[in-house]
Chains A and B, each alone.
Chain A
Amino acid sequence: AQTVTQSQPEMSVQEAETVTLSCTYDTSENNYYLFWYKQPPSRQMILVIRQEAYKQQNATENRFSVNFQKAAKSFSLKISDSQLGDTAMYFCAFMKESGYALNFGKGTSLLVTP
């Protein structure tokens, strides 16, 4: 079974600053997918960024980027130029290459302050 660990229950960052959220996972799979989802207080979960394990290049989506370290089984999310609207729960998730179900971590609550 795959486990996803987010070791930071809560984080805070000032507007316009950069913050990094940590995620580690445990798997015996060689190929898989990793995701970061954002869940604002309204509770509608939305996909922030996705990484295929077979790709060495780190994924980037505007202000969001990841640092994927396959050997270390680490998948951190960097948010640059933080905005108040980034305040949310952030979940790291894993999916097997042959799978369909997302396996989530417990989440990190991010607060962006003015």
Chain B
Amino acid sequence: GAGVSQSPRYKVAKRGQDVALRCDPISGHVSLFWYQQALGQGPEFLTYFQNEAQLDKSGLPSDRFFAERPEGSVSTLKIQRTQQEDSAVYLCASASRQGPSWEQYFGPGTRLTVT
């Protein structure tokens, strides 16, 4: 079946603009994660959903970041009033269950450049 897909693959935003990044997880996957990967760094956890419930948003860098998964499938990461430090690749991952026993499948990422 299809893997995790993300759109757009590339996004250029002017500082101060709002952006919305979409993640389509593998069908039926309960868990969904967002990670932020700055240039030359490993991915860093942003937030975690189990179905439609956002169980952990401790990694979101500021209140300008907001994520949702209203129907327990597609998720959107929204960044308001983008800043240059928001430039990064945003990775989405999904897993069929919760916990470490279940492999996280990653999407190709959205590369956000804020100018």
A residues lining the B interface (CB < 8 Å): 4, 32-33, 37, 42-47, 50, 91, 93, 95-97, 99-107
Per the CB 8 Å criterion, the residue count for chain B at the interface is: 25
Bound CA span A43–B89, Å: 9
Cα-based distance from A46 to B48 in the complex (angstroms): 19
Across the interface, A100 reaches (CB within 8 A) one of B43, B98, B109, namely: B98
By beta carbon, the residue of chain B nearest A101 is: B45
**Which of these, B40, B43, B99, B106, contacts A44 with CB under 8 Å?**
B106
Given the complex, which residues of B lie within 8 Å of A104, measured CB to CB?
42-44
Report the Cα distance A42→B109, complex, angstroms.
9
- B108–A102 touching, CB < 8 Å: no
Would you mind naming 19 contact pairs between A and B with Cβ atoms under 8 Å apart? A37-B106, A42-B108, A43-B109, A45-B43, A45-B93, A47-B103, A47-B104, A93-B42, A100-B31, A100-B48, A100-B98, A100-B100, A101-B45, A102-B35, A102-B43, A103-B45, A104-B44, A106-B40, A106-B41
Q: Which residues of A contact B42 (CB under 8 A)?
A: 4, 91, 93, 104-107
A99:B100 contact, CB within 8 angstroms:
yes
Task: Please give me the residue from chain A that is nearest to B4 by CB atom.
Answer: A44
Residue of B nearest to A97 (CB): B100
CB distance from B5 to the nearest CB of A (A): 10
Number of A-B contacts defined by CB within 8 Å: 56
Tell me whether B33 is interfacial, beta carbon within 8 Å: yes
| Chain B proximity of A89: nearest CB distance (Å) | 9
Interface residue B59 (Cβ < 8 Å from any Cβ of A) = yes
Q: Does B56 contact A (CB under 8 A)?
A: yes
**B21: Cβ under 8 A from any A Cβ:** no
A40 to chain B: closest CB distance in Å? Answer: 10
